[in-house]
A and B are shown apart, each in its own frame.
Chain A
Amino acid sequence: MIRFNKIKKLFEQWSIIMLSNKKYLIEIDSVAGDGDLGLTMSDGFKAAYLAVADSEETDIGKIFYKAGKKMSSAVPSTMGTLMASGLMQAGMALKGKDVLSLGDIVQLFEAYKQGVEFRGKAKAGEKTFLDGIAPAVDSLKEDLAKGETILVAARNALKASEKGSEMTKTMLAVHGRAATRGENSRELLDAGSVVAVLLMQGFLEFVRLIESGHSC
Protein backbone atom coordinates (compact mmCIF):
# COMPACT_ATOMS: atom_id res chain seq x y z
CA MET A 1 0.00 0.00 0.00
CA ILE A 2 1.18 3.51 -0.80
CA ARG A 3 0.17 6.31 1.50
CA PHE A 4 -0.66 9.87 0.39
CA ASN A 5 2.43 11.36 2.01
CA LYS A 6 4.64 9.34 -0.36
CA ILE A 7 2.93 10.44 -3.56
CA LYS A 8 4.99 13.60 -3.99
CA LYS A 9 8.00 11.26 -4.33
CA LEU A 10 6.37 9.80 -7.44
CA PHE A 11 6.13 13.26 -8.99
CA GLU A 12 9.72 13.88 -7.96
CA GLN A 13 10.83 10.70 -9.76
CA TRP A 14 8.88 11.64 -12.87
CA SER A 15 10.42 15.08 -12.80
CA ILE A 16 13.95 13.64 -12.44
CA ILE A 17 13.51 11.06 -15.16
CA MET A 18 12.13 13.57 -17.68
CA LEU A 19 14.97 15.95 -16.93
CA SER A 20 17.64 13.29 -17.34
CA ASN A 21 16.10 12.23 -20.66
CA LYS A 22 15.59 15.76 -21.96
CA LYS A 23 18.26 15.53 -24.65
CA TYR A 24 17.18 12.07 -25.74
CA LEU A 25 13.55 13.19 -26.13
CA ILE A 26 14.59 16.25 -28.12
CA GLU A 27 16.66 14.03 -30.37
CA ILE A 28 13.93 11.48 -31.14
CA ASP A 29 11.23 14.15 -31.45
CA SER A 30 13.36 16.09 -33.94
CA VAL A 31 13.22 13.23 -36.43
CA ALA A 32 9.55 13.80 -37.24
CA GLY A 33 8.24 16.42 -34.81
CA ASP A 34 9.35 19.92 -33.92
CA GLY A 35 11.90 18.78 -31.34
CA ASP A 36 10.48 20.47 -28.27
CA LEU A 37 9.30 17.30 -26.51
CA GLY A 38 12.31 17.15 -24.18
CA LEU A 39 11.64 20.72 -23.07
CA THR A 40 7.90 20.34 -22.56
CA MET A 41 8.24 17.07 -20.67
CA SER A 42 11.03 18.22 -18.36
CA ASP A 43 9.36 21.62 -17.76
CA GLY A 44 5.91 20.06 -17.44
CA PHE A 45 6.76 17.34 -14.94
CA LYS A 46 8.86 19.79 -12.98
CA ALA A 47 5.87 22.13 -12.74
CA ALA A 48 3.67 19.20 -11.71
CA TYR A 49 6.13 18.22 -8.98
CA LEU A 50 6.50 21.78 -7.68
CA ALA A 51 2.71 22.12 -7.55
CA VAL A 52 2.46 19.26 -5.06
CA ALA A 53 5.90 19.25 -3.38
CA ASP A 54 4.81 21.35 -0.41
CA SER A 55 1.19 20.27 -0.42
CA GLU A 56 -0.48 19.16 2.80
CA GLU A 57 -3.24 17.51 0.79
CA THR A 58 -4.24 14.02 1.92
CA ASP A 59 -6.59 13.26 -1.00
CA ILE A 60 -4.39 11.54 -3.60
CA GLY A 61 -6.96 12.31 -6.30
CA LYS A 62 -6.72 16.01 -5.59
CA ILE A 63 -2.91 15.82 -5.66
CA PHE A 64 -2.99 14.36 -9.19
CA TYR A 65 -5.63 16.81 -10.37
CA LYS A 66 -3.68 19.79 -9.08
CA ALA A 67 -0.44 18.54 -10.63
CA GLY A 68 -2.19 18.08 -13.98
CA LYS A 69 -3.80 21.48 -13.93
CA LYS A 70 -0.44 23.10 -13.17
CA MET A 71 1.19 21.20 -16.01
CA SER A 72 -1.48 22.33 -18.47
CA SER A 73 -0.73 25.96 -17.79
CA ALA A 74 3.05 25.48 -17.67
CA VAL A 75 3.37 23.65 -21.00
CA PRO A 76 0.31 24.12 -23.21
CA SER A 77 1.88 22.27 -26.14
CA THR A 78 0.22 19.23 -27.66
CA MET A 79 2.03 16.64 -25.55
CA GLY A 80 1.98 18.86 -22.46
CA THR A 81 -1.80 19.10 -22.58
CA LEU A 82 -2.11 15.36 -23.22
CA MET A 83 -0.03 14.50 -20.17
CA ALA A 84 -1.94 17.06 -18.09
CA SER A 85 -5.21 15.47 -19.20
CA GLY A 86 -3.87 12.07 -18.10
CA LEU A 87 -2.94 13.36 -14.65
CA MET A 88 -6.26 15.14 -14.19
CA GLN A 89 -8.23 12.06 -15.24
CA ALA A 90 -6.17 9.95 -12.82
CA GLY A 91 -6.99 12.54 -10.16
CA MET A 92 -10.70 12.16 -10.79
CA ALA A 93 -10.45 8.37 -10.63
CA LEU A 94 -8.55 8.42 -7.32
CA LYS A 95 -10.68 11.10 -5.68
CA GLY A 96 -11.09 10.59 -1.94
CA LYS A 97 -8.29 8.03 -1.55
CA ASP A 98 -5.47 8.55 0.92
CA VAL A 99 -3.82 5.20 0.28
CA LEU A 100 -3.28 3.19 -2.90
CA SER A 101 -3.46 -0.58 -3.34
CA LEU A 102 -2.31 -2.34 -6.52
CA GLY A 103 -5.94 -2.17 -7.63
CA ASP A 104 -5.82 1.62 -7.26
CA ILE A 105 -2.53 1.74 -9.18
CA VAL A 106 -4.26 -0.08 -12.03
CA GLN A 107 -7.02 2.56 -11.86
CA LEU A 108 -4.45 5.34 -11.83
CA PHE A 109 -2.75 4.29 -15.05
CA GLU A 110 -5.98 3.18 -16.69
CA ALA A 111 -7.48 6.63 -16.04
CA TYR A 112 -4.26 8.32 -17.19
CA LYS A 113 -4.49 6.38 -20.44
CA GLN A 114 -8.18 7.22 -20.87
CA GLY A 115 -7.53 10.91 -20.22
CA VAL A 116 -4.92 10.98 -22.98
CA GLU A 117 -7.09 8.89 -25.29
CA PHE A 118 -10.09 11.17 -24.81
CA ARG A 119 -8.12 14.40 -25.30
CA GLY A 120 -6.08 13.20 -28.26
CA LYS A 121 -8.87 11.22 -29.94
CA ALA A 122 -6.37 8.50 -30.71
CA LYS A 123 -6.43 4.71 -30.35
CA ALA A 124 -3.73 2.15 -29.59
CA GLY A 125 -1.91 1.12 -32.77
CA GLU A 126 -1.71 4.65 -34.17
CA LYS A 127 1.92 5.22 -33.15
CA THR A 128 1.41 7.40 -30.09
CA PHE A 129 1.94 7.57 -26.34
CA LEU A 130 -0.92 5.07 -26.01
CA ASP A 131 1.19 2.32 -27.57
CA GLY A 132 3.61 2.66 -24.66
CA ILE A 133 1.06 3.03 -21.86
CA ALA A 134 -1.64 0.53 -22.92
CA PRO A 135 0.61 -2.58 -22.60
CA ALA A 136 1.74 -1.34 -19.18
CA VAL A 137 -1.87 -1.03 -18.02
CA ASP A 138 -2.65 -4.52 -19.31
CA SER A 139 0.38 -5.90 -17.51
CA LEU A 140 -0.65 -4.21 -14.25
CA LYS A 141 -4.12 -5.74 -14.58
CA GLU A 142 -2.67 -9.23 -15.09
CA ASP A 143 -0.43 -8.91 -12.07
CA LEU A 144 -3.32 -7.66 -9.98
CA ALA A 145 -5.29 -10.78 -10.94
CA LYS A 146 -2.28 -12.95 -10.08
CA GLY A 147 -1.93 -11.27 -6.70
CA GLU A 148 1.61 -10.01 -7.37
CA THR A 149 3.27 -7.33 -5.23
CA ILE A 150 3.38 -3.71 -6.39
CA LEU A 151 7.13 -4.02 -7.00
CA VAL A 152 6.81 -7.04 -9.29
CA ALA A 153 3.89 -5.41 -11.09
CA ALA A 154 5.84 -2.17 -11.61
CA ARG A 155 8.79 -4.12 -13.02
CA ASN A 156 6.58 -6.06 -15.43
CA ALA A 157 4.71 -2.92 -16.45
CA LEU A 158 7.96 -1.22 -17.42
CA LYS A 159 8.97 -4.21 -19.54
CA ALA A 160 5.57 -4.26 -21.24
CA SER A 161 5.80 -0.56 -21.91
CA GLU A 162 9.28 -0.88 -23.44
CA LYS A 163 8.07 -3.65 -25.71
CA GLY A 164 5.05 -1.57 -26.74
CA SER A 165 7.17 1.46 -27.50
CA GLU A 166 9.52 -0.68 -29.61
CA MET A 167 6.49 -1.88 -31.59
CA THR A 168 5.79 1.69 -32.76
CA LYS A 169 8.64 1.11 -35.24
CA THR A 170 6.21 -1.02 -37.23
CA MET A 171 3.26 1.41 -37.12
CA LEU A 172 1.97 4.01 -39.52
CA ALA A 173 1.61 7.49 -37.96
CA VAL A 174 -1.95 8.83 -37.95
CA HIS A 175 -1.50 11.89 -35.73
CA GLY A 176 0.78 14.91 -35.59
CA ARG A 177 3.51 15.98 -37.96
CA ALA A 178 4.78 12.43 -38.50
CA ALA A 179 1.46 11.61 -40.19
CA THR A 180 2.28 13.92 -43.10
CA ARG A 181 5.12 11.52 -43.98
CA GLY A 182 2.71 8.69 -44.69
CA GLU A 183 4.43 5.36 -45.28
CA ASN A 184 7.83 6.97 -44.56
CA SER A 185 6.80 7.32 -40.92
CA ARG A 186 6.57 3.57 -40.37
CA GLU A 187 10.10 2.77 -39.20
CA LEU A 188 10.39 5.75 -36.84
CA LEU A 189 10.28 5.28 -33.08
CA ASP A 190 7.37 7.28 -31.64
CA ALA A 191 8.66 9.81 -29.13
CA GLY A 192 5.34 9.89 -27.25
CA SER A 193 5.55 6.17 -26.56
CA VAL A 194 8.99 6.77 -25.06
CA VAL A 195 7.39 9.21 -22.62
CA ALA A 196 5.12 6.35 -21.52
CA VAL A 197 8.19 4.18 -20.90
CA LEU A 198 9.75 6.96 -18.82
CA LEU A 199 6.56 7.26 -16.77
CA MET A 200 6.70 3.55 -15.97
CA GLN A 201 10.42 3.78 -15.28
CA GLY A 202 9.77 6.65 -12.86
CA PHE A 203 7.01 4.63 -11.23
CA LEU A 204 9.33 1.64 -10.73
CA GLU A 205 12.03 3.88 -9.23
CA PHE A 206 9.42 5.33 -6.90
CA VAL A 207 8.22 1.88 -5.76
CA ARG A 208 11.81 0.73 -5.19
CA LEU A 209 12.51 3.84 -3.20
CA ILE A 210 9.57 3.50 -0.84
CA GLU A 211 10.06 -0.26 -0.46
CA SER A 212 13.74 0.09 0.40
CA GLY A 213 13.01 2.84 2.88
CA HIS A 214 10.84 2.52 5.91
CA SER A 215 7.52 0.83 5.44
CA CYS A 216 4.59 3.13 4.98
Chain B
Amino acid sequence: MKKIINSPENFVNEMLEGIYSAHPDMVKPVAEDVRCFVSAKKINGKVGIATGGGSGHLPLFLGYVGEGMLDGCAIGDVFQSPSPEQILEVTRAISSGAGVLYIYGNYNGDIFNFDMAAEMADFEDGIKVETVVAGEDVASAGPSAPGQKNTRRGVAGIFFVYKCAGAAAAEMLNLAEVKRIAEKACENVRTMGVALSPCTVPRVGRPSFELGEDEMEIGMGIHGEPGIRRGKLASADAIVDEMLKPIIDDIPYAAGDEVAVLINGLGATPLEEQYIMYRRVSQILKEKDISVYRAFVGEYATAMEMSGASITLFKLDDELKRLLAAPANTPFFKQMQL
Protein backbone atom coordinates (compact mmCIF):
# COMPACT_ATOMS: atom_id res chain seq x y z
CA MET B 1 0.00 0.00 0.00
CA LYS B 2 1.42 3.34 -1.08
CA LYS B 3 -0.63 6.29 0.18
CA ILE B 4 -0.08 9.76 1.58
CA ILE B 5 -1.62 9.17 4.99
CA ASN B 6 -0.64 9.43 8.65
CA SER B 7 -2.37 6.25 9.75
CA PRO B 8 -5.11 4.07 8.27
CA GLU B 9 -7.22 4.57 11.42
CA ASN B 10 -7.25 8.35 11.03
CA PHE B 11 -7.81 8.36 7.27
CA VAL B 12 -11.47 9.45 7.33
CA ASN B 13 -11.35 11.96 10.18
CA GLU B 14 -8.17 13.65 8.96
CA MET B 15 -9.61 13.92 5.45
CA LEU B 16 -12.66 15.62 6.98
CA GLU B 17 -10.57 17.96 9.10
CA GLY B 18 -8.82 19.00 5.90
CA ILE B 19 -12.09 19.72 4.14
CA TYR B 20 -13.46 21.78 7.03
CA SER B 21 -10.22 23.76 7.18
CA ALA B 22 -10.21 24.39 3.44
CA HIS B 23 -13.86 25.45 3.13
CA PRO B 24 -14.91 27.05 6.43
CA ASP B 25 -17.25 29.45 4.62
CA MET B 26 -19.21 26.59 3.05
CA VAL B 27 -19.37 23.61 5.43
CA LYS B 28 -19.19 22.78 9.12
CA PRO B 29 -19.53 19.75 11.42
CA VAL B 30 -22.57 19.27 13.65
CA ALA B 31 -21.36 19.80 17.19
CA GLU B 32 -18.30 17.62 17.88
CA ASP B 33 -18.81 14.83 15.36
CA VAL B 34 -16.82 15.49 12.18
CA ARG B 35 -18.76 12.67 10.50
CA CYS B 36 -21.91 14.83 10.59
CA PHE B 37 -21.32 17.32 7.78
CA VAL B 38 -23.65 20.22 6.99
CA SER B 39 -23.79 23.37 4.90
CA ALA B 40 -22.71 26.55 6.68
CA LYS B 41 -25.80 28.28 5.27
CA LYS B 42 -29.24 27.31 6.47
CA ILE B 43 -32.31 28.69 4.69
CA ASN B 44 -35.47 28.95 6.72
CA GLY B 45 -38.47 27.07 5.39
CA LYS B 46 -36.47 25.19 2.73
CA VAL B 47 -36.72 21.41 2.37
CA GLY B 48 -33.48 19.99 3.76
CA ILE B 49 -31.71 17.38 1.63
CA ALA B 50 -29.44 14.88 3.35
CA THR B 51 -27.29 12.17 1.88
CA GLY B 52 -24.63 9.86 3.21
CA GLY B 53 -22.57 6.79 2.61
CA GLY B 54 -19.11 5.38 3.01
CA SER B 55 -15.94 7.38 2.56
CA GLY B 56 -13.55 6.74 -0.30
CA HIS B 57 -15.66 8.19 -3.12
CA LEU B 58 -14.85 11.91 -3.12
CA PRO B 59 -16.40 14.15 -4.31
CA LEU B 60 -19.25 11.77 -3.39
CA PHE B 61 -21.10 12.20 -1.10
CA LEU B 62 -20.21 15.16 1.05
CA GLY B 63 -18.70 17.17 -1.80
CA TYR B 64 -22.13 18.22 -3.02
CA VAL B 65 -23.19 19.83 0.25
CA GLY B 66 -23.59 23.54 -0.42
CA GLU B 67 -25.73 26.15 -2.10
CA GLY B 68 -28.13 24.84 -4.71
CA MET B 69 -27.49 21.18 -3.90
CA LEU B 70 -27.44 19.32 -0.56
CA ASP B 71 -27.74 20.49 3.03
CA GLY B 72 -26.04 17.71 4.91
CA CYS B 73 -24.20 14.40 4.74
CA ALA B 74 -23.49 11.60 7.22
CA ILE B 75 -20.13 9.99 6.63
CA GLY B 76 -19.10 6.41 7.30
CA ASP B 77 -15.73 4.66 7.30
CA VAL B 78 -14.26 3.77 3.93
CA PHE B 79 -16.98 1.89 2.01
CA GLN B 80 -19.08 1.59 5.21
CA SER B 81 -22.43 3.13 6.03
CA PRO B 82 -22.74 5.93 8.60
CA SER B 83 -24.75 5.10 11.73
CA PRO B 84 -28.44 5.98 12.19
CA GLU B 85 -27.44 8.28 15.05
CA GLN B 86 -25.16 10.29 12.76
CA ILE B 87 -27.82 10.51 10.06
CA LEU B 88 -30.28 11.65 12.74
CA GLU B 89 -27.86 14.38 13.90
CA VAL B 90 -27.55 15.67 10.33
CA THR B 91 -31.32 15.50 9.89
CA ARG B 92 -31.91 17.57 13.02
CA ALA B 93 -29.29 20.12 12.00
CA ILE B 94 -30.71 20.72 8.51
CA SER B 95 -34.40 20.57 9.35
CA SER B 96 -36.02 23.99 9.16
CA GLY B 97 -39.69 23.15 9.23
CA ALA B 98 -40.30 22.04 5.63
CA GLY B 99 -39.22 18.42 6.09
CA VAL B 100 -36.13 16.52 5.03
CA LEU B 101 -35.48 14.40 1.94
CA TYR B 102 -32.93 11.59 2.05
CA ILE B 103 -31.22 10.80 -1.24
CA TYR B 104 -28.61 8.05 -1.23
CA GLY B 105 -27.33 5.10 -3.22
CA ASN B 106 -28.96 1.69 -3.32
CA TYR B 107 -26.93 -0.33 -0.79
CA ASN B 108 -28.47 -2.50 1.96
CA GLY B 109 -26.43 -1.08 4.84
CA ASP B 110 -27.30 2.50 3.88
CA ILE B 111 -30.99 1.68 3.39
CA PHE B 112 -31.25 0.08 6.84
CA ASN B 113 -29.49 2.95 8.58
CA PHE B 114 -31.32 5.74 6.76
CA ASP B 115 -34.66 4.00 7.41
CA MET B 116 -33.85 3.71 11.08
CA ALA B 117 -32.77 7.36 11.20
CA ALA B 118 -36.00 8.43 9.48
CA GLU B 119 -38.05 6.58 12.09
CA MET B 120 -36.05 8.15 14.93
CA ALA B 121 -36.40 11.64 13.39
CA ASP B 122 -40.15 11.17 13.20
CA PHE B 123 -40.46 9.55 16.64
CA GLU B 124 -38.03 11.69 18.62
CA ASP B 125 -38.30 15.06 16.86
CA GLY B 126 -41.43 14.95 14.73
CA ILE B 127 -39.42 15.74 11.58
CA LYS B 128 -41.08 14.53 8.40
CA VAL B 129 -38.61 12.58 6.29
CA GLU B 130 -39.05 11.25 2.76
CA THR B 131 -36.59 8.98 0.96
CA VAL B 132 -35.40 8.48 -2.60
CA VAL B 133 -32.92 5.67 -3.22
CA ALA B 134 -30.87 6.06 -6.38
CA GLY B 135 -29.83 2.93 -8.28
CA GLU B 136 -28.87 3.37 -11.92
CA ASP B 137 -25.96 1.04 -12.72
CA VAL B 138 -27.30 -0.96 -15.67
CA ALA B 139 -24.53 -3.54 -15.29
CA SER B 140 -25.56 -4.45 -11.74
CA ALA B 141 -29.05 -5.85 -12.42
CA GLY B 142 -31.87 -5.83 -14.92
CA PRO B 143 -34.58 -3.18 -14.89
CA SER B 144 -37.11 -3.70 -12.09
CA ALA B 145 -40.69 -4.55 -12.98
CA PRO B 146 -43.33 -2.01 -11.88
CA GLY B 147 -43.87 -2.28 -8.13
CA GLN B 148 -40.73 -4.39 -7.72
CA LYS B 149 -37.74 -3.30 -5.66
CA ASN B 150 -34.94 -1.70 -7.69
CA THR B 151 -31.86 -3.88 -7.22
CA ARG B 152 -29.44 -1.74 -9.21
CA ARG B 153 -26.49 -0.17 -7.43
CA GLY B 154 -26.26 3.58 -7.11
CA VAL B 155 -23.15 5.08 -8.68
CA ALA B 156 -22.05 8.37 -10.29
CA GLY B 157 -25.46 9.23 -11.77
CA ILE B 158 -26.67 10.27 -8.32
CA PHE B 159 -24.89 13.56 -9.08
CA PHE B 160 -27.75 14.49 -11.44
CA VAL B 161 -30.33 13.50 -8.82
CA TYR B 162 -28.61 15.74 -6.26
CA LYS B 163 -28.37 18.58 -8.73
CA CYS B 164 -32.03 18.58 -9.77
CA ALA B 165 -33.48 17.90 -6.30
CA GLY B 166 -31.14 20.52 -4.83
CA ALA B 167 -32.25 23.12 -7.36
CA ALA B 168 -35.90 22.24 -6.70
CA ALA B 169 -35.40 22.74 -2.96
CA ALA B 170 -33.60 26.03 -3.65
CA GLU B 171 -36.72 27.16 -5.58
CA MET B 172 -38.52 26.59 -2.25
CA LEU B 173 -40.70 23.79 -3.63
CA ASN B 174 -42.34 21.63 -0.95
CA LEU B 175 -41.18 18.20 0.22
CA ALA B 176 -43.54 16.23 -2.04
CA GLU B 177 -42.41 18.24 -5.08
CA VAL B 178 -38.70 17.91 -4.29
CA LYS B 179 -39.21 14.17 -3.83
CA ARG B 180 -41.07 13.94 -7.14
CA ILE B 181 -38.18 15.70 -8.89
CA ALA B 182 -35.61 13.39 -7.27
CA GLU B 183 -37.61 10.33 -8.35
CA LYS B 184 -38.00 11.68 -11.85
CA ALA B 185 -34.25 12.29 -12.07
CA CYS B 186 -33.62 8.70 -10.90
CA GLU B 187 -35.94 7.37 -13.59
CA ASN B 188 -34.02 9.19 -16.29
CA VAL B 189 -30.43 8.45 -15.33
CA ARG B 190 -28.37 5.40 -16.37
CA THR B 191 -24.72 4.55 -15.78
CA MET B 192 -22.14 1.89 -16.55
CA GLY B 193 -18.53 1.66 -15.43
CA VAL B 194 -15.30 -0.05 -16.40
CA ALA B 195 -12.38 -0.82 -14.08
CA LEU B 196 -8.73 -1.19 -15.10
CA SER B 197 -7.09 -1.60 -11.72
CA PRO B 198 -8.28 -2.03 -8.12
CA CYS B 199 -8.12 0.20 -5.06
CA THR B 200 -6.90 -0.45 -1.54
CA VAL B 201 -8.94 0.34 1.56
CA PRO B 202 -6.38 1.82 4.02
CA ARG B 203 -7.36 -0.37 6.97
CA VAL B 204 -7.30 -3.50 4.82
CA GLY B 205 -3.94 -2.70 3.26
CA ARG B 206 -4.22 -4.81 0.11
CA PRO B 207 -6.18 -4.40 -3.13
CA SER B 208 -9.82 -5.49 -2.95
CA PHE B 209 -9.55 -7.59 -6.12
CA GLU B 210 -7.03 -8.54 -8.76
CA LEU B 211 -7.07 -7.57 -12.39
CA GLY B 212 -4.31 -8.63 -14.79
CA GLU B 213 -1.96 -6.03 -16.29
CA ASP B 214 -3.70 -6.33 -19.69
CA GLU B 215 -7.24 -6.82 -18.36
CA MET B 216 -10.33 -4.71 -17.77
CA GLU B 217 -13.69 -5.45 -16.22
CA ILE B 218 -16.78 -3.93 -17.80
CA GLY B 219 -19.59 -3.11 -15.39
CA MET B 220 -17.63 -3.28 -12.15
CA GLY B 221 -19.10 -1.38 -9.18
CA ILE B 222 -17.43 1.38 -7.17
CA HIS B 223 -16.56 -1.02 -4.33
CA GLY B 224 -15.20 -3.63 -6.70
CA GLU B 225 -18.50 -5.50 -7.07
CA PRO B 226 -18.30 -7.96 -9.97
CA GLY B 227 -19.11 -6.59 -13.41
CA ILE B 228 -20.52 -8.29 -16.46
CA ARG B 229 -17.43 -9.13 -18.46
CA ARG B 230 -13.73 -9.41 -17.78
CA GLY B 231 -11.45 -9.40 -20.77
CA LYS B 232 -8.39 -8.05 -22.53
CA LEU B 233 -8.10 -4.29 -22.42
CA ALA B 234 -9.71 -2.90 -25.59
CA SER B 235 -9.42 0.45 -27.38
CA ALA B 236 -11.21 3.48 -25.92
CA ASP B 237 -13.75 3.47 -28.75
CA ALA B 238 -14.50 -0.24 -28.32
CA ILE B 239 -14.91 0.19 -24.53
CA VAL B 240 -17.29 3.12 -24.99
CA ASP B 241 -19.28 1.25 -27.65
CA GLU B 242 -19.72 -1.71 -25.30
CA MET B 243 -20.74 0.49 -22.34
CA LEU B 244 -22.98 2.99 -24.08
CA LYS B 245 -25.25 0.54 -25.89
CA PRO B 246 -26.86 -0.97 -22.76
CA ILE B 247 -27.20 2.53 -21.29
CA ILE B 248 -29.09 3.81 -24.32
CA ASP B 249 -31.17 0.65 -24.77
CA ASP B 250 -32.32 0.74 -21.16
CA ILE B 251 -34.37 3.96 -21.32
CA PRO B 252 -34.91 3.85 -24.45
CA TYR B 253 -34.13 6.92 -26.53
CA ALA B 254 -35.66 8.33 -29.72
CA ALA B 255 -34.16 10.64 -32.31
CA GLY B 256 -34.41 14.25 -31.14
CA ASP B 257 -34.05 13.47 -27.43
CA GLU B 258 -31.82 15.61 -25.29
CA VAL B 259 -29.34 14.46 -22.63
CA ALA B 260 -26.67 15.55 -20.19
CA VAL B 261 -23.58 13.34 -20.22
CA LEU B 262 -21.27 12.56 -17.33
CA ILE B 263 -17.89 10.97 -17.92
CA ASN B 264 -16.63 10.13 -14.45
CA GLY B 265 -13.08 9.11 -13.57
CA LEU B 266 -12.85 6.46 -10.84
CA GLY B 267 -9.80 8.04 -9.22
CA ALA B 268 -6.67 7.16 -11.18
CA THR B 269 -7.72 7.67 -14.79
CA PRO B 270 -6.49 10.96 -16.25
CA LEU B 271 -8.79 13.57 -17.73
CA GLU B 272 -7.10 13.02 -21.09
CA GLU B 273 -8.46 9.47 -21.21
CA GLN B 274 -11.86 10.65 -20.04
CA TYR B 275 -12.04 13.13 -22.93
CA ILE B 276 -10.99 10.40 -25.38
CA MET B 277 -14.02 8.50 -24.08
CA TYR B 278 -16.26 11.56 -24.38
CA ARG B 279 -15.19 12.01 -27.99
CA ARG B 280 -16.64 8.61 -28.84
CA VAL B 281 -19.79 9.14 -26.73
CA SER B 282 -20.45 12.36 -28.61
CA GLN B 283 -19.97 10.64 -32.01
CA ILE B 284 -22.44 7.89 -31.13
CA LEU B 285 -25.05 10.31 -29.77
CA LYS B 286 -24.74 12.39 -32.93
CA GLU B 287 -25.31 9.29 -35.06
CA LYS B 288 -28.46 8.57 -33.06
CA ASP B 289 -29.62 12.17 -33.29
CA ILE B 290 -29.55 12.59 -29.50
CA SER B 291 -28.38 16.08 -28.64
CA VAL B 292 -26.14 16.91 -25.70
CA TYR B 293 -27.36 19.81 -23.57
CA ARG B 294 -24.32 19.71 -21.31
CA ALA B 295 -21.31 17.45 -20.81
CA PHE B 296 -19.62 16.99 -17.42
CA VAL B 297 -16.17 15.37 -17.53
CA GLY B 298 -14.02 14.72 -14.45
CA GLU B 299 -14.12 13.04 -11.07
CA TYR B 300 -17.63 13.01 -9.58
CA ALA B 301 -17.77 9.62 -7.83
CA THR B 302 -14.52 7.76 -7.33
CA ALA B 303 -13.32 4.55 -5.73
CA MET B 304 -10.08 5.77 -4.12
CA GLU B 305 -7.26 5.07 -6.59
CA MET B 306 -9.17 2.64 -8.78
CA SER B 307 -8.51 3.30 -12.45
CA GLY B 308 -11.35 3.24 -14.88
CA ALA B 309 -14.35 5.40 -15.62
CA SER B 310 -18.09 5.43 -15.88
CA ILE B 311 -20.47 6.88 -18.44
CA THR B 312 -23.81 8.35 -17.36
CA LEU B 313 -26.61 9.59 -19.60
CA PHE B 314 -29.33 11.75 -18.11
CA LYS B 315 -32.43 12.13 -20.26
CA LEU B 316 -33.82 15.63 -20.02
CA ASP B 317 -37.15 17.35 -20.37
CA ASP B 318 -37.82 21.06 -19.85
CA GLU B 319 -38.25 20.74 -16.12
CA LEU B 320 -35.10 18.70 -15.49
CA LYS B 321 -33.19 21.00 -17.84
CA ARG B 322 -34.26 24.08 -15.89
CA LEU B 323 -33.13 22.48 -12.62
CA LEU B 324 -29.85 21.21 -14.06
CA ALA B 325 -29.12 24.72 -15.35
CA ALA B 326 -29.56 26.39 -11.96
CA PRO B 327 -26.46 27.70 -10.19
CA ALA B 328 -24.66 25.69 -7.52
CA ASN B 329 -21.77 26.41 -5.21
CA THR B 330 -20.30 23.57 -3.17
CA PRO B 331 -16.73 22.66 -2.24
CA PHE B 332 -16.52 20.21 -5.14
CA PHE B 333 -19.01 21.47 -7.70
CA LYS B 334 -19.54 25.01 -8.88
CA GLN B 335 -21.74 26.13 -11.72
CA MET B 336 -23.01 29.47 -12.95
CA GLN B 337 -26.55 29.70 -14.29
CA LEU B 338 -26.44 27.87 -17.65
Contact = CB atoms under 8 A, between A and B. Distances in A.
B33 to A, nearest CB: 10
Nearest to B77: A76
B85 A77 contact: no
Contact of B84 (A73, A78, A121, A175): A73
Question: Size class of B's contact patch?
Answer: 10 to 19
B109 A81 contact: yes
Interface residues of A, number: 17
Contacts of A77: 80-81, 109
A81 B149 CA distance: 20
Contacts of B226: 180
Contacts of A76: 76, 80-84, 109, 113
Contacts of B112: 78, 81-82, 85, 119-120
A188 B99 CA distance: 44
B108 A72 contact: no
A202 B85 CA distance: 27
B83 A72 contact: yes
B86 interface: yes
Nearest to A118: B115
B251 interface: no
A112 to B, nearest CB: 15
A119 to B, nearest CB: 5
A175 B111 CA distance: 13
A69 interface: yes
Contact of B113 (A81, A121, A175, A180): A81
B297 interface: no
B19 interface: no
A82 B113 CA distance: 9
Contacts of B108: 78, 120, 175-176
Interface string A49-90: 000000000000000000001001110111001101100000
A120 B225 CA distance: 21
A73 B116 contact: no
Given A77-B80, A78-B108, A69 B113 contact: no
A211 to B, nearest CB: 35
Interface string A170-211: 000001100010000000000000000000000000000000
B209 to A, nearest CB: 12
B156 to A, nearest CB: 21
A142 B225 CA distance: 44
A73 B86 contact: yes
A38 to B, nearest CB: 15
Contacts of A74: 83
B313 to A, nearest CB: 25
B219 to A, nearest CB: 12
A73 B85 contact: yes
Nearest to A181: B226
Contacts of A120: 108, 112
B84 A72 contact: yes
A74 B84 CA distance: 10
22 contacts: A69-B85, A72-B84, A72-B113, A73-B84, A73-B85, A73-B86, A76-B80, A76-B81, A76-B83, A76-B113, A77-B81, A78-B112, A81-B112, A81-B113, A81-B116, A85-B112, A85-B116, A119-B115, A175-B108, A176-B108, A180-B225, A180-B226
Q: Nearest 5 CB-CB pairs, A to B? A: A76-B83, A81-B112, A73-B83, A73-B85, A78-B109
